[in-house]
Amino acid sequence: MFVEFCMWGAFCVLTAGLAVTSQVLGSCPHHCHCGTTVSVINCSYARLAVVPERLPLDLTGLNLSHNAIRTLAPEQFRALTRLEDLDLSDNHLAYVDADAFLGLRSLLDLRLARNRLKVLPVGAFAGLSRLRLLDVSRNEILGFLDFTFRDLAGLRVLEALHNDVVFISRQAFAGLSDLRQLHLDACNLTLVPTEAFARLGRLTVLHLHRLDSSVLPNYAFLGLARLKELIITDWPRLETLSTNSLVGLNLTSLAIRNCKISVVPYAALHHLVYLVNLDLSCNPISYIQGNQLRDLLRLEEFRLVGGRLRRIETATFQGLARLSLLNVSGNLLSTLEEGVFHSVDTLRHLGLDGNPLACDCRLLWLTQRRSSLDFGGGLPTCGALGQWDFLDYTAVEMAELLTCQPPRVQLHQPGLVSVDQGHTAVMHCNAEGQPEPSVTWLDPKRKALMGTGRIRAAANGSMEVRYAQPQDAGIYRCVASNAAGYDTQPVELHVRALTKKKPFHFKSRLAALPSSSPDMQEPPFDVKTLLIAASIGFLSFFSSVGLCFVAIFFWSKGRGQIKHTANIAYVPHSAATSRNGGTGNYMETSRFTMKLM
């Protein structure tokens, strides 16, 4: 009896345990895939219209992507306190209610990409204090309101690419005190939201895509002192970076791709002394000036792929002793000389394919380094050899194939050119050689002439002296140079000064006048001539005076009623008058009337 009772008790305990276990584990939803422990459930492509019910309470991973879920009820996942990964991507969500995720206190990753969200209301992420990753990419989000992410104090990565963001409020990112990476697509913004970014003091990675701005303004990233990686891509109107646009940053990686920048922004880059990776690909940059990147002492990788690069000047990478990767594939380069590098000893990766390279001696250094260089699978080509593989030719064979011819200068005028003062002198100079030589003009002081100014060198190899002056005279030199050497020819310029005119002497003019006597020293003017001249002068004077009086008369007539008489009183000098035998002095006042004409 006792034994039967014990066996029945054990059966009861076992049944109760199975019941509890069944409640904890729950059941695997229809069309979903569950693991052996049912801690991770994959309901992707399960044709779900709502979130499944009665999910296991100890669930840690739930994949609901690629379904037709339209709404989330408040506290939809409240019982899943152990859930760490929730994927709701590729559904039909148009709105997320406040407190929709309340209760997911263990959630680390939340993916809402590729839905139909237009706005993220304040409070939508309440209770997700431990969330590390939030992905809202490829939605229809129009903007980020103040305090949208205030409950995400532990968020590290925010993905918000490919949206239609029109505005970002000043305090939109308030509360993201630990955010490290921000990937933002703001195609309708015209300015960098500097004030909003200033609250992200711990940000290390910032990706900005499709901003509608033609210039990156000064001090655009103030407050982001810890930022290490900045990527700017697909700004269709961005043409320049202001001088102080990157002030305050200590970047190690900078990419500005697929924009309209036509000149390398040297002034904006020079202070980035910790920069390791620089990418300017897919920009219409045509040349890189020499010795302009020397401040980037730690630069190791430089990329400018798919641009319009035609020339990399000598000493372009001077001072960059750590440069190990250069990728300039898909440009218009005719050559890449060894002199552009500080040292080729550190170069390990070189992308040069897709350029119309000329087969000449400037490429010989590549054959010497072919065993230590990685071309990334795209071997460079040149016009004469087609697709060439450095391993198929020996150094001796390449030395015979890649040849150069020293330049030879040809002048179109004799060695002496004369020009009148104030006129323009033009001196032509052509040069032949392989590769095509570059032509430079030197003035008499052996200084190279620039392309601007009164005395200047033209792009076609000629030199022009405008408004020539005597001090411009001297010997000018045309210098042609290429990889095989140089040649020079002098041209002397002579400027003919203007002839000085003789000064006018009155005595000499008098001597030329006719005279009746050789001793005559005075002009031959008689009295009659003087009288006629005086009469003409007086007649002109009195005519002018008379005309003035007539004008004054008619002017006075037009002034209205005018008093034509005036009484004037005056006191004459004292007079002595005696009356009744006595004498006395008195003053007598007199008056007279004057008529005004």
User: What distance in Å separates the CA atoms of residue 318 and residue 321, rounded to the nearest whole number?
Assistant: 8
CATH for the 407-496 domain, from 3.30.460.80, 3.30.930.20, 2.60.120.330, 2.60.40.10? 2.60.40.10
* Contact criterion met (CB below 8 Å) for 461 and 439: yes
The DSSP line for 89-106 is: -SS------TTTTTT-TT
Count other C-beta atoms under 10 Å from residue 195's C-beta: 15
pLDDT at 21 over 70: no
Give 569-579 pLDDT, tens digit per residue.
555 555 444 44
* Contact criterion met (CB below 8 Å) for 203 and 226: yes
User: What distance in Å separates the CA atoms of residue 305 and residue 276, rounded to the nearest whole number?
Assistant: 17
Q: If pLDDT is split at 50, 70 and 90, which confidence band does 585 have?
A: very low
pLDDT at 268 over 70: yes
Give 117-174 pLDDT, tens digit per residue.
999 999 899 999 999 999 999 999 999 999 999 999 999 999 999 998 989 999 999 9
Domain ranges for the chain, please list them: 33-188, 407-496
pLDDT at 334 over 50: yes
Averaged over 272-287, what is the pLDDT?
A: 97
The amino acid occupying position 594 is M
Of residues 181 and 191, which shows the higher confidence score?
A: 181
Question: Under DSSP, is residue 374 helix (H, G, I), strand (E, B) or coil?
Answer: strand
Residue keyed to tokens 């411009």: 472
Give 410-437 pLDDT, tens digit per residue.
877 778 889 999 999 998 888 888 888 8
Averaged over 518-541, what is the pLDDT?
A: 62
Of residues 290 and 387, which shows the higher confidence score?
A: 290
The residues facing 382 across adjacent strands are 357, 386
- Two structure tokens written together for 100: 């929709």
Q: Is CATH 3.80.10.10 the classification given to domain 33-188?
A: yes
Write out 47-91 in H/E/C secondary structure: CCCCCCCCCCCCCCEEECCCCCCCCCCCCCCCCCCCCCEEECCCC
Q: Would you state the pLDDT for residue 14?
A: 37
Residue keyed to tokens 């939809």: 76
Q: Would you state the pLDDT for residue 120?
A: 92
Give 532-566 pLDDT, tens digit per residue.
767 777 677 777 777 777 777 776 666 555 555 55
* Contact criterion met (CB below 8 Å) for 202 and 178: yes
User: What distance in Å separates the CA atoms of residue 174 and residue 559, rounded to the nearest whole number?
Assistant: 82
Mean pLDDT estimate for the chain? 83
Give 68-80 pLDDT, tens digit per residue.
999 998 888 999 9
Whole-structure pTM value: 0.72
The amino acid occupying position 259 is C
